[in-house]
Structure 1
Amino acid sequence: METSQNPKNFFQSATAKIIMVGLLTLVLLIPLQYVKNLILERSNRQKEVIIDINQKWGGSVYFYGPVLKVPYTSYTETKVTDEKTKQVTINRTANTNYAYFFPDELNAIANVTTEERNRSNYKSVLFNSKMNFKGVYTMPDFSTESIADADIQWDKASVIIETNNIKGIKGEVAMTIGSQKYIFEPAADNSSFTKGSYAALETKSINVKEVFNTKSIPFNFDISYNGSEYIKIVPIGKQTTAKMTSNWNSPGFQGDFIPENKNITDSGFTAEWKISFLNRPFVQQHFGKLPNLSEYSFDVDFVIPVNQYQQSERAAKYGFLVIGLTFLVFFLIQTISKINIHIFQYSMIGLALIMFYTLLISVTEHSSFKFAYAISGVAVIVMIGLYSLSILKNKKFPLLITTSLGALYTFIYVIIQLENYALLVGSIGLFLILGAVMYVSRKIDWSNSHA
């Protein structure tokens, strides 16, 4: 009669160890989430500091104008019936309305000088924009609305500008129309524009009949802003041309129109726009109130493209992958070599992997992301390499582990730097890693694998 063998202890089996390592991986997601929250907290703190710096210097720049504003008289008729005599009387009430005319030609030239301002570990991009606007107005035409010439208040016309950064305007803003000079002042009434969050600048009264002594009249004015983040200009000219030059080498071209020509170098950029009234969904004259045209602007962003917190956040998203693959390497080594690795030792290795991200955040705040990533990666790899040398009792397996970790951190860094090809490269990399694991584990007898 054969003697039956004692059954294996389940907790010493490969299945039990896979379950424990898997559970530990899930548990380590808790401190990993704390790290992500730390990155978010530091990122929000950076945004608060940037907002504070920008508010003291000057915010974003939005420019809509110059618009010729001409008041006219309209009449409201009401019928009043006498109850006794049944006689109907018509009362006529005069009301003042406004007509708005955009220039036929608008040429904008902007020279933007940027600089970075630092506070503690945070920095913001500020700029000074010197902008010149030239163009041509034609004599306003009221014929489309059948308004009598006698009802047009030609001597009470003005020119208005809508902008969002009154605080950032530097110096006087004076406009020359023909040979006459007019000074812009904050408008007493902002009702011309539909969006109340913006402010209006307006000239004193202009006598159109005197100034427009020819069919068309040129205008010219300069305006200088201290600003940050972006510049938005609404192309209200029947033909609008614009040119912007700057020492900023990472511009973002946004809005409804992109430049026809642009040249970006390490020392700055030049961009040019040519926009016809046929390219926009609004006309050249408006009666009653000006429309909100902020969504039809051409924009240039002056922001740091990817800051260190965004890169750290992207790196932390791969934390689960790093922990899982590192544990997998240790588990395969344990299974092949029959060396017992305690769950506590797995825990220490997992915490060391999480320390990579806290090191990355802290070092990045005082240096570049590339340098911080290299320092943090080397520190963690050396720590885990020395620890594995003590628990695996030879040099071959620790060398394999450090090589694998180095390749993994390099792979993740490459993905972080990529934008359009990040998904493609990441998918191919994970496919190759899976293939390598399948190849290494193909001959393991899992039924007899136990410590």
Structure 2
Amino acid sequence: MENQKQKKSFGQWLKTSITVRMIMIGILILILLIPLSYVKSLIKERSYRQQEVVSEINQKWGNEVLLYGPALKIPYQVHHLKKSWDEKTKTYIEEDVITVKHAFFFPNTLDIKANIESETLGRSIYESVVYTADMKIEGSFTVPNFEIQDIEASDILWNKATVIINSTNLKGIRNNLELNIGNKNYPLRSKYTENSYINMLETKFLEETSLPKENTVSFHMNLMVNGSEQLRFIPVGRETNVSMTSDWASPSFNGNYLPDTKTKEISKDGFKANWKVLQINREFEQEFFGALPQINNSAFGVKLLIPVDEYQKSERAAKYGYLVIALTFLVFFLIQTISKIDIHPFQYLMIGLALTMFYTLLISISEHSSFLQAYIIAGTAVILLTSIYSKAILKSIKFMGFVAISLTALYSFIFVIIQLENYALLVGSIGLFLILGTIMMISRRIDWKND
């Protein structure tokens, strides 16, 4: 009889002990982190799939456009004195060995006017923003200065001078390219380069009237190209001016230089932006001897953004999953402790799984609708399910209403944090402080003496 009484009292202690309940809830929260981590992996997997599909769409339409040039390419001769021993004459023979190198001269002025017409292309449930850019490029070349390298005028091969332009996207070009320089038209032809990222276009040898031997010569060309995501330029002119207009309402200006804030306009109908970059603003010279440098890090331009990234928001929401589960369990724990209602660990587990299902519903519904609609549908479904279940285990409409109100407030709070960027930490900290204060006030009614 005494053993049965001891077993009964021990069992009742496990059932009524507040400390044991808290430990049990903590263990259940740790267990529920396992399915929550699988949900996060699912979101990342779907996000990677979106990136793959978008990349495939962009590759077929035309990748990002980075324009590098034009640049004047002029060969020149370099003399090396080579000495060799002649066994017959027993003397050294001197031989003038000539090698040909290239000098590259950037334009004095470079003006680019670009009009960007955007559209979205979709495949299955994914979409990407692409564009067609119609560009007018003009400028001028001044007389090249070979004296800085002590190159004699007789060593300059003017008859083999060309103009080159580098671009990352030859596939997207929609018109036959011709460069007009010195009132002469020169077709641009693609040329093989070892750099797989950027491709070279080059004219044939320039005629005498197109060469800036004594005077400045002007050039102009039209370029129409299909691209995706970004349009960028490298400011190779001594003075580079870029004017850009587009019907896309969500631009992100990036790169080494930002547009003039006084002339920049962004509206629901599109944007306008202007850049002015001087040579003194750059980190490279106006001429190069031997080879063109890698100066892609000096590029600037615009990135066309799809305004809403559902996967990014779903991933941010999932990061608060453990907080939602912990606070919901805390609500049930307070109700159980204050009202003396028994809640089985299995019932806690069912509630936790219902809360985890919110994120799978969110990601699956958001792929077919807006994030707001998906959040409302998923949140309403989980709140209704949890509230109805709580009515069954708590046997009270009052407690069911309290659970429903608590979950609604919690999901609303998480949604506000997700939407905010600059003030997310501030709002989150204030919200958690208020939640903690509320819990501290309610927990005063708990009697810890009989634990």
**Counterpart secondary structure, 1:442:** helix
Which amino acid letter does the alignment assign opposite residue 10 of structure 1? Answer: W
C-alpha separation in 2, matches of 1:305 and 1:34: 27
Q: 1:108 aligns with which of 105, 112, 123?
A: 112
Deviation for aligned residue 1:151: 1.0
Q: Per-residue displacement from partner, 1:199-257 (whole Å, max 9, x unpaired)?
A: 10000100356544762111100111111111110000001111111111111111110
| Distance 1:208-1:327 versus aligned 2 partners, 3 A rule | farther
Question: Do 1:157 and 1:208's aligned partners in 2 also have CA atoms closer than 8 Å?
Answer: no
Residues 131-150 of structure 1 correspond to what in structure 2 (within 5 A)? 131-150=135-154
Distance in 2 of aligned mates of 1:11 and 1:302: 60
Q: Which runs of 4+ in 1 moved over 2 A?
A: 5-10, 81-86, 207-214
Asked whether the equivalents of residues 154 and 207 of structure 1 are also in contact (C-alpha less than 8 Å), the reply is no
Instruction: Please give the residue correspondences for 1:159-238 in structure 2 after superposition, counting only pairs within 5 Å.
Output: 159-188=163-192, 190=193, 195-208=195-208, 211-212=211-212, 215-238=215-238
User: Aligned runs of 1:183-332 on 2, under 5 Å?
Assistant: 183-188=187-192, 190=193, 195-208=195-208, 211-212=211-212, 215-261=215-261, 262-332=264-334
DSSP-derived class of the 1:441 partner: helix
Q: Distance in 1 between matches of 2:133 and 2:208?
A: 31
Write the distance in 2 (CA, Å) between the matches of 1:224 and 1:428. 52
TM-score for the superposition, normalised by structure 2: 0.95
- CA–CA distance in structure 1, aligned partners of residues 443 and 450 of structure 2: 14
Cα displacement (A) at 1:81: 2.4
**Residue identity matched to 1:55:** Q
Residue 154 of structure 1 aligns with which residue?
158
How far apart are the structure 2 equivalents of 1:374 and 1:268? 30
- Kept after mapping to 2: 8 A contact 1:156/1:207: no
Alignment partners' CA distance in 1, 2:450 and 2:119: 67
The 3 A distance-change label for structure 1 pair 210 and 355 is closer
Equivalence for 1:429 = 431
Distance across 2 between alignment mates of 1:77 and 1:37: 67
| Equivalence for 2:441 | 439
Matches within 5 A, 1:25-64: 25-64=29-68
Q: Which residue of 2 aligns with 1:373?
A: 375
Other structure's SS at 1:130 match: strand
Contact 2:251 2:305 in 1 (8 A): yes
- Per-residue displacement from partner, 1:149-179 (whole Å, max 9, x unpaired)? 1111111111101111111111211111121
Matched, 1:76 2:83: no
- Aligned counterpart, 1:91: 95
Amino acid in the other structure paired with 1:403:
I
Segment of structure 1 superposing worse, 221-230 or 315-324: 221-230
CA–CA separation in structure 1 for the residues paired with 2:72 and 2:309:
43
Please give the root-mean-square deviation of Cα atoms over the aligned residues, in Å. 1.6
Letter in 1 for 2:249: N
Cα deviation, 1:262-297, whole Å, max 9, x if unaligned, reads 111111111100110000011111100011110001
Gaps of 5+ in 2: none
After superposition, give the CA deviation of every residue in 1:333-352 in whole Å (9 maximum; x if it has no partner): 00000000111111111111
Question: SS of 2:444's equivalent?
Answer: coil
Aligned-partner residue type, residue 154 of structure 1: W
Please tell me whether residue 130 in structure 1 is matched to residue 130 in structure 2: no
Question: Which residue number in structure 1 is paired with residue 399 of structure 2?
Answer: 397
Give the whole-Å Cα distance in 2 for the aligned partners of 1:448 and 1:271. 71
- Using the TM superposition, give the Cα deviation of residue 10 of structure 1 relative to its aligned residue in structure 2, in angstroms: 3.5
Contact 2:234/2:299, CA 8 A, preserved across alignment: yes
Deviations 1:310-364 (A, max 9, x none): 1100000000000000000000000000000111111111111011111101110
Identity of aligned residues (%): 50
Q: Shift of the alpha carbon at 1:423? A: 1.1
Structure 1 counterpart of 2:201, one-letter code: L
Rate the CA distance shift 1:100–1:208 in 2: closer, same or farther, 3 A.
farther
**TM-score, normalised to structure 1's length?**
0.95
Compute the displacement of 1:87 (Å): 1.5
Whether the aligned pair in 2 keeps the contact of 1:360 and 1:373 (CA below 8 Å) is yes
Counterpart mapping for 1:358-369 below 5 A: 358-369=360-371
What SS does structure 1 have at the residue aligned with 2:346? Answer: helix
Cα distance in 2 for partners of 1:45, 1:298 equals 29
Partner Cα separation in structure 1 for residue 122 and residue 68 of structure 2: 31
Shift of 1:84: 6.7
Cα distance between partner residues in 2 of 1:173 and 1:143: 33
Contact 2:245 / 2:273 at 8 angstroms: preserved in 1? yes
Of 289-298 and 145-154, the range deviating more from structure 2 = 145-154
1:291-313: CA deviation from partner (whole Å, max 9, x where unpaired): 11100011211132441111100
